[in-house]
Structure 1
Amino acid sequence: MAKKVSPYLQAISNDDSLPIEKVATQLWMTDLNNSFRWVLRPLLQLFFAILLHIVWFIKRLPFPQFSAHHFLQKTICWFCRYFVSPEANLLILRHFATESNILNFLSENTGHEHRVNLYPKTINDMLNSTFVDHDQELFDCFIKLGKSQAPISANQTPTECTWDSWQPINMDDFHIKRRSTQILDFETSHALFMCLFCFLLKKDEYRDAINGFNLDQSIAIRIGRIIDDPTLTELAYNKYPQYLVGPWNLGQRFLMHGFFTEHLYARLETIRLIQLEKSSADSA
């Protein structure tokens, strides 16, 4: 018997006010309807939030720093393979693709050569396209971009955007082997990962990783200038990158970062398809 969906969840699943692809909405709605989310998540989030702050404090004591990137990634992939729900795994894989596309679009349309090639299609692919690399690519992009205004023409319009590095997301390309043990929703899974990341990264690596979300506002400003849409900043929950934060409220900030990349990807993909259709019509 199918689970009854509440009126509110029906409302948000049909609300298209914010740009987001239907498949991403459906994955998230399925994740929200995960029964374990409403039972396990509050308990685990409380426990691991306390543990995270303890680990954060210990890592910042004057002890020798250490990291274990490969072990971290192997552990995450093992956990995803056996315990994280298929919907949550697909959302994780989509996030790699959405952010890679956004950073490549930004570089390509501001005259820079930096490109990101993190497009895992399976859980095993994430052993190479790692979460650590995902963060470093974001920082490298901003280091190499420089000033945001200079490369952008004042007369530039969305029809002048280039998409050579853009890789449209096709859900058929993702492959997740379903197992009966895959019961954990996206947020519960992230609660489990937080402490592991903090413990197995050096203190500055982890601090940079959890503050990288705040570059969402900068990305929105820069791409807004390219496509002449200053309202993109409204999509960014995480803002003001000069203000460094700790692990407090990390789960929500991480989730809002995921929504931001989905929204921005959908907005740009719509522009790309319109431009492609116009180009086809002009050449006909």
Structure 2
Amino acid sequence: MPSTDATQKLQSIKHNPLDPNPWLALYMDTSVPLHAVAKANFLVDVASTSRQWFLPMIRPFCRLTICGFKVLKTVMPRFLTSSWLLHHSIYWGLKWFVSPYANYLVMRHFHIGTELLQFIAKNAKGVNMEFVGLRPEKLHDLTQNVFLQHDLNIFNFIIEINRQLNEQELELQPKGELDFSCITDGEFPIEDMPHGWFNLIDLESAIEMYTPMYQLLLTDSDFWRACNSLQLDETIALYATTLLNDHRYLGLVNNKHPIVPSSTLGAAHRLMLHGLAAEFLHAFLVRQKRVRENKADAVKQDRPPQ
């Protein structure tokens, strides 16, 4: 399975004190919480030849293309707008050309995003909310408007949770003992990713190439919303850590200040930071879930928690 293959690749690296491997050092580091297999896949992906050589060559061309499509969309706003074509082109690109390590991380991200919003909605006092949960198990599931729905979920969630709290004149606070039942401690039900001859492109390079496609095939409103959603990591993190009454995680958030949006030209790198921030927050919640389960078990067995 490609996801565990990444772990084996890193564990097989021999440490040389005179020439230490930077990726092995990051893999061994445990200073921040992160799902072990996801971390291995991140490191194998960013250490790839594709990211080292291919990304710097295509990035200027992709960003220039975004500028060109921006001018085109200003003149003809509805030219070639098709969410169906966008999602199917992403699916085929991921299936045939993107590395299994990158695809694994893409698939995880939608499960994680769903669980983070569920955790906040389930535990916030005075909030009663339902939204479209995204749980893709196969790459083909992504064709069901998953990328666009992911962005809609985030903005609709923020609008709705604050509307309900404001109408009741409530501050965000937990309704009682925190419920971690929606947080998965382990692997998500994701199929093995394609591992063919041409599945070589790293995650950030793939995002760079798909960003102009977003610009072309989405409306200007959809494109701006997708890019600006990347700076809501701090907002979602504040909601979760306020419920936990533990704000240590906030130091790991890099996409900040959503009121002052960043340029769409840097969306690919910000999307990498967004994915990592979501992984960090989810791992932080998993750690808190384990602590509470350990305490509950200790109470049941009448022994001190470990």
> What's the TM-score, normalizing by structure 1?
0.90
User: 1:277 is paired with a residue of what secondary structure?
Assistant: helix
Query: Quick one: distance in 2 between partners of 1:229 and 1:174?
Result: 35
**What is the correspondence of 1:130-141 to structure 2 with a 5 Å cutoff?**
130-141=146-157
Partner of 2:48: 34
Q: Following TM superposition, by how much is the alpha carbon of 1:114 offset from its aligned partner in structure 2, in angstroms?
A: 2.6
Q: Following TM superposition, by how much is the alpha carbon of 1:169 offset from its aligned partner in structure 2, in angstroms?
A: 4.4
Identity over aligned pairs, percent: 22
Q: Are 1:43 and 2:57 counterparts?
A: yes
Q: Unpaired runs of 5+ in structure 1? A: none
**What is the correspondence of 1:248-259 to structure 2 with a 5 Å cutoff?**
248-259=265-276
Q: 1:240 to 1:88 in 2, by over 3 A?
A: same
Tell me whether 231-240 or 195-204 shows the greater mean CA deviation. Answer: 231-240
Number of matched pairs:
280
Greater RCO (Cα-Cα under 8 Å, separation 6 or more): 1
Q: 1:12 to 1:217 in 2, by over 3 A?
A: same
Q: Following TM superposition, by how much is the alpha carbon of 1:280 offset from its aligned partner in structure 2, in angstroms?
A: 2.8
Partner of 1:13: 27
Q: Are 1:185 and 2:202 counterparts?
A: yes
Q: Are 1:241 and 2:258 counterparts?
A: yes
User: 1:30 is paired with a residue of what secondary structure?
Assistant: helix
Instruction: State the Cα deviation string for residues 140-170 of structure 1 (Å, max 9, x = none).
Output: 11111104962415x96xxx21134334441
Query: Quick one: distance in 2 between partners of 1:4 and 1:181?
Result: 28
Partner of 2:212: 195
Query: Quick one: distance in 2 between partners of 1:69 and 1:128?
Result: 10
Q: Following TM superposition, by how much is the alpha carbon of 1:229 offset from its aligned partner in structure 2, in angstroms?
A: 1.3
User: 1:73 is paired with a residue of what secondary structure?
Assistant: helix
Q: 1:226 to 1:214 in 2, by over 3 A?
A: same
Instruction: State the Cα deviation string for residues 84-104 of structure 1 (Å, max 9, x = none).
Output: 000000010111111111111
Q: Following TM superposition, by how much is the alpha carbon of 1:129 offset from its aligned partner in structure 2, in angstroms?
A: 5.7
Whether the aligned pair in 2 keeps the contact of 1:94 and 1:169 (CA below 8 Å) is: no
Tell me whether 205-214 or 10-19 shows the greater mean CA deviation. Answer: 10-19
Q: 1:193 to 1:18 in 2, by over 3 A?
A: same
Q: Unpaired runs of 5+ in structure 2? A: 1-8, 302-306
Q: 1:70 to 1:46 in 2, by over 3 A?
A: same
> What's the TM-score, normalizing by structure 2?
0.84
Query: Quick one: distance in 2 between partners of 1:216 and 1:58?
Result: 31
User: 2:67 is paired with a residue of what secondary structure?
Assistant: helix
Query: Quick one: distance in 1 between partners of 2:185 and 2:80?
Result: 38
Q: 1:103 to 1:116 in 2, by over 3 A?
A: farther
RMSD: 2.3
Tell me whether 1-10 or 178-187 shows the greater mean CA deviation. Answer: 1-10
- The residue type paired with residue 159 of structure 2 is I
Partner of 2:134: 118
Q: 1:215 to 1:42 in 2, by over 3 A?
A: same
Partner of 2:160: 144
Q: 1:169 to 1:45 in 2, by over 3 A?
A: farther
Query: Quick one: distance in 1 between partners of 2:91 and 2:41?
Result: 20
Q: Over alpha carbons, which structure has the higher Rg?
A: 2
Q: Are 1:22 and 2:43 counterparts?
A: no
Whether the aligned pair in 2 keeps the contact of 1:96 and 1:119 (CA below 8 Å) is: yes
Partner of 1:211: 228
- The residue type paired with residue 137 of structure 1 is N
Instruction: State the Cα deviation string for residues 36-80 of structure 1 (Å, max 9, x = none).
Output: 222211111121011112212332346446631111101100110
Tell me whether 251-260 or 238-247 shows the greater mean CA deviation. Answer: 238-247
Instruction: State the Cα deviation string for residues 204-245 of structure 1 (Å, max 9, x = none).
Output: 110011001111111111111111112322222111112233
User: 2:265 is paired with a residue of what secondary structure?
Assistant: coil
Query: Quick one: distance in 1 between partners of 2:104 and 2:152?
Result: 22
Q: 1:61 to 1:236 in 2, by over 3 A?
A: farther
Query: Quick one: distance in 1 between partners of 2:45 and 2:138?
Result: 19
- The residue type paired with residue 150 of structure 1 is E
Q: 1:150 to 1:66 in 2, by over 3 A?
A: farther
- The residue type paired with residue 49 of structure 2 is S
Query: Quick one: distance in 1 between partners of 2:262 and 2:43?
Result: 30
Q: Following TM superposition, by how much is the alpha carbon of 1:199 offset from its aligned partner in structure 2, in angstroms?
A: 0.6
Query: Quick one: distance in 1 between partners of 2:284 and 2:97?
Result: 32
